[in-house]
Structure 1
């Protein structure tokens, strides 16, 4: 077996397979066979190669091998909001798991537009990435078709459409629980804070919360803001709470918006949380535990999500022609101090 000569090994500081072969007194092909699982090589020859490699500090050129095999160990992580707290945790956890698996994670930040996500995926295909994982954005049918034509696994997170393998949180169940928690505490004047981003996860949470409330005979006051961040939470709070109409409890589609809402309610309107206003968030980012917020929130465990992504990736590579894999993860509600307790109801 020959190792592809890309010129990369000639760079200063890189120990080449040719140098190992010379030191061990064997052919270069013997070096390649020594580092190829299952390849035929005499035990004594392999021992010589490994000793020479250890003495020189040689590392296998995985990029060259990937080009030979028409597939690298790169796994692309496509994300439109990598700086947000939840996405940062998700990327860190998933990257650790991929490295443990022997893969090389590559983060490609994009905008939320379809063209930008498609361009990122095309780049990964050119580099023969073994898979693309879309952590945010809206992959189009053409992107899915492109992946299928090239035989590359495509896993999307937080989506529901048919086609690629996808993993999502059970938003509908979480929204239903949020309504049940509020109603059990006698809170029926409900508000909902969303953003104009319109991602599938956020839309699911909004629609499910409104529907669950309607079953209780409650009409939800919904307020949207431009972005799903702290400033968006403040802006939405000023419109939702600043009208004079009483709102007793608010479900926020993520924790950052909940933080903005809580600070506006306390600092501007002098409301007490949870006595005057109960708040539930979504994501369970570390800041939700901080004393300033003590936010009751649905926790998306990044380790559980990462393990599930790896599981789906392994299943897909083991059976490329299997039907699309759909995995739904629960997000348990973590109670803290932003929701009125049951025992305090009068």
Structure 2
């Protein structure tokens, strides 16, 4: 029997229920009694029956598949986010297909076209943006899109991100309050909205004290490039007394160069502040002062927006910016009288 194609009708006969009851049992979110579900699962197990999800999607018009696009996973923030997004969507009865893309618009558009071929119910773009044209095509095809940890200027696509501007501004105020005056910046990829907002927010915080960056280099969200950027910044005679790094991933490389290549003490010689608060930031080896992205809240908001738009496609785009607190640890000099 295990080698034969078992149908839902055979399961229904063995369980003593209707074929529609079997269908409801294997349809996430459908109403079915506990007793019926137990009988159906027992019969399905005995017959080695598995529902044909693809066949069901042809009938219902819903694949219950979400396409998740990620540009890179080196940054600890994204593997955690992908796991949380997958778990949250699976809890709602959806399956997740993960696609890798680069930052270039052409590559992202190619990947998105491939995703649409899978007849997905929705798309989450984590760490990447998309062209306005393809965004409109997705909407026209009835496939809602939510940007995770990004947003676009045209506001036509829903987005969820941390308050990058406000969080970075608080980081600048903290360093200024700590007596720093020669503050440098190591930027990420300049095409990212996260980079633009974090740099803008930090500059705004510095401007309140009549300051600007004493130096700026680009790390491009790459740890090796961040290391080289650090060497460039600290080759100057007037070396920085603090560095703001756009994300933790780069900051770890920055701190390694400062301590082990340049022989500087953190925070006695130089303070380091970053953004994300990924798990290694709390390790004693780094003890990094950083702005926290609230991944759990960001995921919850992303899933809520996406499922709302799947259920009602006329729902207007939503844009959520979640508060990002500064987490003070040992990598930066504390302002006088600071109380945690």
Compute the TM-score of the two structures, normalised by the length of structure 1: 0.87
| Matched length | 331
Is the alpha carbon distance of 1:13 and 1:263 closer, same or farther for their aligned partners in structure 2, counting shifts above 3 Å?
farther
Is the alpha carbon distance of 1:24 and 1:338 closer, same or farther for their aligned partners in structure 2, counting shifts above 3 Å?
closer
Which ranges in structure 1 are unaligned for 5 or more consecutive residues? 1-9
Which ranges in structure 2 are unaligned for 5 or more consecutive residues? none
1:261 is aligned to 2:249 = no
Is the alpha carbon distance of 1:40 and 1:247 closer, same or farther for their aligned partners in structure 2, counting shifts above 3 Å?
closer
The worse-fitting range, judged by mean Cα deviation, of 187-196 and 287-296 is 187-196
Q: Distance in 2 between matches of 1:76 and 1:40?
A: 26
1:107 is aligned to 2:95 = no
The worse-fitting range, judged by mean Cα deviation, of 165-174 and 61-70 is 61-70
1:147 is aligned to 2:138 = yes
Equivalent in the alignment of 2:151: 159
Equivalent in the alignment of 1:31: 19
Q: Which structure would you say has the larger Rg?
A: 1
Once the 2 structures are TM-superposed, how far is the Cα of residue 302 of structure 1 from its aligned partner? 2.0
How far does the alpha carbon of each residue in 1:8-49 deviate from its partner, in whole angstroms, 9 at most, with x for none?
A: xx99576433543565688xxx424532379999xx999976
Q: Distance in 2 between matches of 1:143 and 1:336?
A: 43
1:1-346 map, 5 Å: 12=3, 15-17=6-8, 19-20=10-11, 23=14, 30-32=18-20, 34-36=22-24, 52-157=43-148, 158-161=150-153, 162-343=155-336
Once the 2 structures are TM-superposed, how far is the Cα of residue 314 of structure 1 from its aligned partner? 2.6
Q: Distance in 1 between matches of 2:305 and 2:315?
A: 11
Contact 1:197 1:228 in 2 (8 A): no
Q: Distance in 2 between matches of 1:57 and 1:12?
A: 9
Q: Distance in 1 between matches of 2:230 and 2:55?
A: 55
Q: Which runs of 4+ in 1 moved over 4 A?
A: 10-14, 21-26, 37-41, 44-51
Contact 2:169 2:203 in 1 (8 A): no
How far does the alpha carbon of each residue in 1:62-100 deviate from its partner, in whole angstroms, 9 at most, with x for none?
A: 221112222211011001113431111110111111111
Contact 1:160 1:168 in 2 (8 A): no
Question: Aligned to 1:275, what secondary structure does the other structure show?
Answer: coil
The worse-fitting range, judged by mean Cα deviation, of 219-228 and 123-132 is 219-228
Once the 2 structures are TM-superposed, how far is the Cα of residue 126 of structure 1 from its aligned partner? 2.0
Once the 2 structures are TM-superposed, how far is the Cα of residue 180 of structure 1 from its aligned partner? 0.7
Contact 2:288 2:328 in 1 (8 A): yes
Question: Aligned to 1:281, what secondary structure does the other structure show?
Answer: strand
RMSD of equivalent CA atoms: 2.8
